[in-house]
Amino acid sequence: MQQALSGMNSRLSSIGGSVVGAGDARTRAQLDRSITRPRVGEVSLSAFAFLFSELVQYSQKHVKGIQDLEKRLNLVGYRVGQRLLELLVFRDRGSKRDVKLLNALLFINTNVWKALFGKPADSLEKSSEHDDEYMISDNDLVVNRYISIPKEMAQLNTGAFVAGIVEAMLDGSGFPARVTAHTVPVAGFPFRTTILIKFDAKVMEREKRLADK
């Protein structure tokens, strides 16, 4: 809790709480903020965590299994992604459409992650076994930070929400794909989430055609 409060450059505001003296530390952090750097587009982390947990609970009431739950979160993320795509392309990309697959993925990797979570994704990899699979990894996905999965649902990864966002962005840009989220623990980062992107065959054909031209 104290670490969260002392971060001066943390993009997400500190968690309000029942800790005594939290108020003082918070106002001190507020006064130390730089005036020149615009702090627009920031949302309180605690507000988001509550909202997301409620979203997961609500979805759980209406589904009968893990796959269904992931699909539902994916759908919610899809709606967000559709709108986010238009906005981010207009705001950050000037007037350019991504025609190449790699450019679209890089756009997601940096711009989208930065707009959503304040930092670019940790890695973007191409799978060596399958030509049409790519993976975006994040060591500490913000949406998953305050979620702990019970043992019966070990396969669930609520990062399906983010997977939905990515799927909508790729779908909208003309690269239809199936996107899923998986937990891939790695030394030092037990909660590392990998977003697996599997492109449709049509997309790969088109890429090959464009590459040959």
Partner 1 sequence: MSYSRPTSTIPVPRYPNGIACIAVVGKQNNPLLIQTFGNAADQELKYHYLAHMSCDYVDEKLRSGSKSGDLYLGLLCTIESQNVYGYMTNTRVKFLIVIPTTVPTKDSEVKAAFDVIHSAYIDLLGNPFYDPDSTQMVASPRFRARLQTLAAPVAS
Interacting residues toward partner 1 by CB under 8 A: 38, 40-41, 79, 82-83, 85-87, 89-91, 94-99, 172-174
Instruction: State the nearest-atom distance from the C-beta of 173 to partner 1, in Å.
Output: 6
202/26 Cα distance (integer angstroms): 52
Comparing CB distances to partner 1, the nearer of 92 and 133 is 92
User: Which of 84, 92, 57, 106 shows the shortest CA–CA distance to 164?
Assistant: 84
Evaluate the CA torsion angle 9, 13, 16, 21 in order and state its sign: positive
Comparing CB distances to partner 1, the nearer of 79 and 130 is 79
Instruction: State the nearest-atom distance from the C-beta of 31 to partner 1, in Å.
Output: 22
Task: Mention every residue, 6+ apart, whose C-beta is less than 8 A from residue 77.
Answer: 160, 161, 162, 163, 164, 165, 166, 167, 168
Instruction: State the nearest-atom distance from the C-beta of 91 to partner 1, in Å.
Output: 6
Comparing CB distances to partner 1, the nearer of 121 and 170 is 170
Comparing CB distances to partner 1, the nearer of 1 and 99 is 99
141/158 Cα distance (integer angstroms): 10
Q: What is the DSSP letter of 184?
A: -
Comparing CB distances to partner 1, the nearer of 83 and 202 is 83
Instruction: State the nearest-atom distance from the C-beta of 101 to partner 1, in Å.
Output: 13
Please give the structure tokens belonging to residue 87.
């906005």
- Identify the three-state secondary structure at position 158: coil
CA-based diameter of the chain, in Å?
A: 66
Instruction: State the nearest-atom distance from the C-beta of 190 to partner 1, in Å.
Output: 35
Instruction: State the nearest-atom distance from the C-beta of 57 to partner 1, in Å.
Output: 20
Q: 10 Å Cβ neighbour count for 139?
A: 14
Comparing CB distances to partner 1, the nearer of 34 and 95 is 95
